[in-house]
Amino acid sequence: MKHIKSLIELSGVWFDYHPDRQMKEQWALQDINLTIQSGEYVVVMGPNGSGKSTFARLLNGLLIPTEGEVRVGDFSTSNGLGRFHIRRKVGMVFQNPDNQIVATTVRDDVAFGLENLGIPREEMIPRIERALEVVGLVGFENREPAHLSGGQKQRLAIAGVLAMNPEIIVFDESTSMLDPQGREEVRELMKELHQQGQTVIHITHSAQEAFLAERVIVIAHHRLQLDYPSRDLYNQSNLLEQWGLEVPLPIRVRALLKNQGVELNEPIGNSDEMVAQIWRYLSKT
Amino acid sequence: MNSVMIGQYIPIDSWLHRLDPRSKCIFVFCMLILIFFANNVETYTLLLLVGLMGVALSRISVLLFLRSMKLIIWMILFTTLFHLIFTQSGSIVLQTPILTIYEEGVRQAAIISVRFILLMIFASLLMFTTSPIDLTDGLESLLSPLRRWRFPAHEFAMMMSIALRFIPTLWAETDKIIKAQKARGADFESGNVYRRVKAYIPVLIPLMISSFRRAEDLATAMEARGYAGGVGRTKLRVLSIRRADILLLVCFAIVATALFWMRK
Ligand SMILES: Nc1ncnc2c1ncn2[C@@H]1O[C@H](COP(=O)(O)OP(=O)(O)OP(=O)(O)O)[C@@H](O)[C@H]1O
Ligand SMILES: [Mg+2]
């Protein structure tokens, strides 16, 4: 039998910012056990303050578990050398588009991570070009970040991460501060990256985004509460409501109709699809 | 407005623009020192000619240089007046019931004015033709030998470049806060100086709070991208000394020799 090694493995992880001051029941994250395979597209949801950002920061060694261990590939975040390798493997895109761009031009910013890794200049140039190509910012190389739109800034942040050739990209509410168009751009890009085999972990408050992923994890009250393939969640939207999470309208309507004995096909991606399905159902009867 | 704030760089292409920032820094620095060795009409004329040649080579409109002179016009007027009134040696040039002007006073006033103008020309040449990023890179490279005495050259340059990166962002934010406060009836335009300064406090405090937040976010983002100080870092931007840079330094040597030969 072939043993499949998971890409990310959290075992018995407990974490708090002030472990000595808090009772263990109040720690920011409690008893997290989780594995994520290469190529997965995972969404993490949960109420405010439940520990999602803390979880994200544990994944690339920005935070070290107080107890337990986080492993990425063959490395553990608990030792310094491991962290160095993990920073290269796990890229992170944050929430505020303005506060994660370091350099004064687009090209220099994509280079920043590569410079930190000590990549020789000749190798940097093609990697920067490729990353800008993937995010669609070719031609913007000499632009100042202040002259980019919110969506473009986030795409720049993604390019900066992509240039480092990560295996995993973690998005911590990276779409929440964007206008609808910027949000769509970034979502589209996430989907593309996933299709190219990248492992994507997306922390979000938007249930609509959750159903774009393959697997949904809910963290609430500092613990891992749900871990389902998003397909299975269609039939159990009440589970999301139970944790105070908003359920997208099409899914709610579908569940209500089902209670009335009206069975629609799944999955329903957006309200247009729902309307089409209701029409189809009505024309059948 | 933003571009004025960050170093007044004029992004066109010229022989001076293409020079390595380090050789420009060294050249301008040495020229500034040289100004203080000039002591007669010939030497000042020589330096003025060099400055004007620089202006021509930069292909930047003379008007822009004149505008930068506006910054020092008061300083020039003040010191000129000071010397005309208080320097009292040499023969009398002009005698009025309230004021007597001496020859030495006129001479001193002229010297100081020319010195200010020369300083401004050379400083403007550097600022106009060197982008802030190049300037930062150049300074990092020039200061890096000081690392041996624990001078944090890399950190210093990183700090400067982050400041440059955030000036437009903070500027836009200030603008937004001022508008928001105005919408709530804040008044920035009327009243005496004290009242006007006071009106800005509700702008500065949110700005400061958000800056701390930005700093924290940025530090996290930098760490997440593997930043761990200057050790083991490579650079995308490379500086290279070319023929033109050597030519510039040779020019300086010639000017300096001529000046020391011509001075009294
Ligand atoms: N730097 C910090 N120092 C101390 N406590 C912190 C720090 N950051 C977060 N916390 C605490 O840890 C807990 C989890 O916070 P975290 O930021 O992970 O929540 P979150 O799920 O990301 O929330 P949100 O949806 O608002 O982003 C919260 O109780 C928070 O107050
Ligand atoms: Mg968060």
Residue A106 tokens, joined = 């687009």
Is the pLDDT score of A268 beyond 70?
A: no
Domain boundaries, chain A: 6-247, 248-285
Give B188-212 pLDDT, tens digit per residue.
777 788 888 888 888 889 899 999 9
Nearest-5° Cα angle at A7, A45 to A102:
65
Cα of A18 vs centre of ligand 1, distance in Å, is 12
Quote the ipTM score: 0.87
Average pLDDT of span B24-34 = 93
Closest ligand 1 atom to residue A205 Cα is 25
Query: What residue's CA is closest to ligand 1, atom 7?
Result: A17
Nearest-5° Cα angle at B174, B169 to B176:
95
Confidence of residue A269 (pLDDT cuts 50, 70, 90): low
Query: What residue's CA is closest to ligand 1, atom 28?
Result: A49
Q: Which residue of B131, B236, B237 to mutate against A (max A Cβ within 10 Å)? A: B236
Q: Which residue of B140, B214, B225 to mutate against A (max A Cβ within 10 Å)? A: B225
Mean confidence (pLDDT) of chain B = 87
Q: Are strands A8-15 and A29-36 parallel, antiparallel or unpaired?
A: antiparallel
Cα of A133 vs centre of ligand 1, distance in Å, is 35
Residue of B nearest to A162 (CA): B225
Q: Which ligand number lies closest to the CA of residue A63? A: 1
Mean confidence (pLDDT) of chain A = 88
Is the Cα dihedral B227, B232, B234, B235 positive or negative? Answer: positive
Q: Assign residue A35 a region: left if phi > 0, alpha if psi is -120 to 50, beta otherwise?
A: beta
Give B128-183 pLDDT, tens digit per residue.
999 888 888 999 899 989 888 988 989 988 998 898 889 888 988 998 988 888 88
Cα of A110 vs centre of ligand 2, distance in Å, is 24
Which range scores top for mean pLDDT: A74-78, B11-15, B228-232? A74-78
Closest ligand 1 atom to residue A48 Cα is 25
Fold for domain A6-247? Rossmann fold (3.40.50)
Across the interface, do A117 and B223 touch by the CB < 8 Å criterion? no
Closest ligand 1 atom to residue A51 Cα is 18
Cα distances (angstroms) measured from residue A10 to each of A32, A200, B225: 7, 16, 22
Tell me, what's the pLDDT at B3? Answer: 40
Is the pLDDT score of B104 beyond 70?
A: yes
Tell me, what's the pLDDT at B5? Answer: 42
* Residues of chain B contacting residue A161, judged by C-beta atoms under 8 Å apart: 225
Instruction: Tell which wins on pLDDT, A31 or A209.
Output: A31
Closest Cα of chain A to B220: distance in Å? 8
Give A125-168 pLDDT, tens digit per residue.
999 999 999 999 999 998 989 889 999 999 999 999 999 999 99
Do residues B243 and B22 touch, judged by C-beta distance below 8 A? no
**Distance between CA B262 and CA A142 in Å, rounded?**
46
Verify whether ligand 1 is closer than 6 Å to residue A28 (CB atom): yes
Which residue, among A198, A208, A264, has the nearest Cα to A45 in the 3D structure? A208
Average pLDDT of span B112-134 = 90
Tell me, what's the pLDDT at A57? Answer: 95
Across the interface, do B221 and A94 touch by the CB < 8 Å criterion? yes
Which residue, among A227, A186, A225, A232, has the nearest Cα to A209 in the 3D structure? A186
* Residues of chain B contacting residue A129, judged by C-beta atoms under 8 Å apart: none
Tell me, what's the pLDDT at B1? Answer: 38
Give A186-214 pLDDT, tens digit per residue.
999 999 999 999 999 999 988 778 878 88
Q: Would you list which residues of chain B are within 8 Å, Cβ to Cβ, of chain A?
A: 2, 132-133, 161-162, 164-165, 168-169, 172, 213-214, 217-218, 220-228, 232-238
Is the pLDDT score of A172 beyond 60?
A: yes
Do residues A36 and A165 touch, judged by C-beta distance below 8 A? no
pTM of the model as a whole = 0.83
Choose the closest CB to B165 out of A84, A104, A160: A104
